[in-house]
Every structure is written in structure tokens, then in C-alpha cells.
Amino acid sequence: MKMTETQFNKIKAQIKKLTSKECFYKHKLEGINPDKIQSQEDFEKLPFTWKGDLREAYPLGLMAVPEEEIVRIHSSSGTTGTPVIIPYTQKDVNDWAAMFSRCYQMAGITSHDRIHITPGYGLWTAGIGFQLGAEKLGAMTIPMGPGNTDKQLKMMMDMQSTVLCATSSYALLLAEEIAKRGIGDKIKLKKGVIGSERWGDKMRKRIAQELGVQLYDIYGLTEVYGPGIGISCDHECGVHYWDDFVYCEIVDPKTGEVLPDGEIGELVITTLEKEGAPLIRYRTHDLTRMIPGDCPCGSKYPRIDTILGRTDDMIKVKGVNIFPSQIEEMLSSIENASSEYQVMIDHLNGKDILTLFVEAVPGCDKKQLEKNLITNFKLKIGITIKAMPVEIGDLPRSEKKSTRIFDNRY
């Protein structure tokens, strides 16, 4: 993707500013003369910023403005060790709301909508981002937060919510519950804004069908504002991102080399407007690609593909690299296999064994499904596996991110 002149100028001005005062990037970019950055190629030689760097800056080492300008902090979910703290100025908060409101608009949501928000509020950036964007849009928000399915459904019916904001697994849980209770005709949802998780086509179709809504993928990460830096459009062909706020690159996860448009690699983000904690070449660990060409919707905002997985989800089994999205794609083509699956990898008697658990459509021939799974995995992904069809509901659902791959080899 060619960097525009505006983007280049914003980035250069930011680097100049950051290297001229005591802050995280003064040290990170030590020895680099900002005046020597004359082109996109020069920019692409700058060092990456890693999540580990941000962790080391805990608690407030990322703060790039005087403390009195900081109005809020958020923290990324630190599943392992020290979390990352991101400070926001008022402008950062306003910019985030503006981007999020643009996401709703891209999804055709207006001030006449009633937006039911189930992601969590608090240190995590999710709920509050959905809220700010909806308020800026002028829609009525229903700030539910996660959990308590009975209450969720009651409010959804009583308030006649038209938009559901949720993670894909929670949307699926609610969709299943609505079907089970037979209350579909009392639900007025028209659209679903689904974030913070990767999901396959089959799961998308199930949620859309059971809820009777059109779904939109929202993208973002706490380190870069939060959800809302991009969203899919009606044409469901990738995620438009706001290139006036973020500059995106796709790099080879192993070598760090910038890849041509269309090739799959790791998304790297540079912020263009952020004040509290600007980021330069931040490695997101999300796997995607730039989608070349114009979108049929006519939007001029560029597109990345729906997130295909995490660089750390890439698993190597029997010498073959496997992405979760490949498994999802394979499942979507198999009769009687649902979208819910789990993978266990073990090492027994000197051999890797991959076991694929899949929820099967009730009443189907499980023996036949098992055979189909084994044959198709070998055919499409290239290794022989064990397959275990299970009942619908046997695999865990969660309100946060679902872990689908368990590597027990190390």
C-alpha cells in the first residue's frame, strides 16, 4: 500500500515531536535522525514496536504528553504477566468516538436505532467504545455489558433493540437461546456489530440466520484506541479501515519484510493522530492481507481482509503450518458439521496427534461425519488427524474470546 503524502507528513511530524522530548519513543528511536526519513522506504526501516516493549513501559511509561492532559487509561487484557496501560487525551477519546460512529454509519446504523451493547465496560476498551460511538451518532444506547442472558433477552424485547453489539461467541449464545425459547418474533434486531474475535463463515451464517440480521465485523485493539478503527460494509468483502487515523502495513511475521498487497502476513499499525500513547510500527500479531482494488460499496477507505488468525495461533503439526481459518473454511464445506470446533494436539510415542472435536448437527450419522472430517482434513490441509464429532453445546461458549486450539506438546 502506497503511503499518501498526508500520511507521510503526519508520521514524520510525529516522529520529530516524539524524539525531541523525554518519552518512550525518544529511547526507542535513539540514534535515528528524523530529518533523514525522506520516503516510505526510509520509514519501513524504522524498528517495530512490540507488545513486550509496551509491557516494559508499565505503568505509565507510554505517556507522551504531560499528565494533566491525560483523561483516561485503558488496559489490554493481560492474560500472561504484566498488562499494558494506554493513556488517552481528550482528543484521543473524541477521535475514537468519531471513528466508532463512522463504523456504525458504514453499517447503515442511524440515530433512529437502539443499540444493545453486551461487551464489557471497564479497563477493557470494548463496551465504552461501542457506547461513545453510539452516543456520538445520536442513537439510543442500552449499556448492558456481558452476562445474565435472561436479562439481556428481556431488555432486548422490552426496549426493542435494533442493533446487537457482541463478540461472535456471545452473539451465537444469544441466537441459540432465542431459538430455544421460541421468542424470535419478539426480537426486533436488524443488524449485528460483532467484534474482537475471529469467526468463520459458517458461524456468521448461523448467527445471521437465527437472529435474522445483517452482520458487520468491527476491528480494533486496545493498544490502538480499541475496537472501531475499521468495519466491514454491506458487501462483506473485508474491513474498511480509517486511513486518516491509522497507517497499516502487512509484514512477513518471521522476517518483518513489508509484503505486497494481497499477500497474507502480520498487520502492523502506525497511529497518525494519537497523543496520549502514539505508536510507530506496532506489531498486532493479527494475520490478514491488504485487499487490492475498489470496494463495490464505493467507499474510498482501504480494506484489510477479515482477520484470519493470530501469528501465535499458527501451529506446526507434522511439519505443516496450520491457521485456524483453514480449519473453519474446511468445516464450512462439510455436511452436518457445525461451526463450533476445538483442536487438541498431543505428542505420543514420538508422533504428533491432532484431534479435531466438532459439534455435529443433531441426529446426523456421526460415523460418516468422522470419516468426512478425516478425509477432508487430509485433502485440504495435508495431514491425517483423529476426528471426534460431539453434541451441539458440548464445546464451551464464552463471552470473551474462545480458545479453540490446545497444544499439549510442550
Note whether 139 and 117 are within 8 A (CB).
no
Among residues 233 and 251, whose Cβ is nearest to Zn ion? 233
Please state the closest distance from residue 9 (CB atom) to Zn ion, in A: 27
Closest contact distance (angstroms) between CB of 18 and Zn ion is: 34
State the residues that interact with Zn ion by CB under 5 A: 233, 295, 297, 299
What does the DSSP assignment read for 140-171?
Answer: EEEE--S--HHHHHHHHHHTT--EEEE-HHHH
Judged by beta carbon, residue 242 or residue 341, the one nearer Zn ion is 242
User: Which residues face 342 on adjacent strands?
Assistant: 357
Report helix, strand or coil for 276: coil
Among candidate residues 38, 15, 40, the one with its CA nearest the CA of residue 28: 15
Buried b (16+ CB within 10 A) or exposed e, 9-35: ebbbebbeebbeeebbbeebbeebebe
Instruction: Output the smallest distance, CB 302 to Zn ion, in A.
Output: 10
Closer to Zn ion by CB, 183 or 297: give it. Answer: 297
CB 111 within 8 A of CB 139: yes
CB nearer Zn ion, residue 37 or residue 233: 233
Closest contact distance (angstroms) between CB of 295 and Zn ion is 3
Q: Please choose, from the candidates 45, 13, 14, the residue with its C-alpha nearest in 3D space to the C-alpha of residue 32.
A: 45
Minimum CB–partner distance for residue 304 and Zn ion (Å): 12
Contacts of residue 15, defined as CB under 8 A and 6 or more positions apart, other chains included, come to 25, 29, 32, 34, 37, 46, 280
Nearer to Zn ion, 240 or 281 (CB): 240
Nearer to Zn ion, 148 or 299 (CB): 299
Peptide linkage before 59 cis (omega within 30 of 0): yes
The amino acid present at 178, given as its one-letter code, is I
- Nearest approach, Cβ of 103 to Zn ion (angstroms)? 12
| Nearer to Zn ion (CB atom), residue 42 or residue 294 | 294
Q: How far is the CB of 284 from Zn ion (least distance, A)?
A: 21
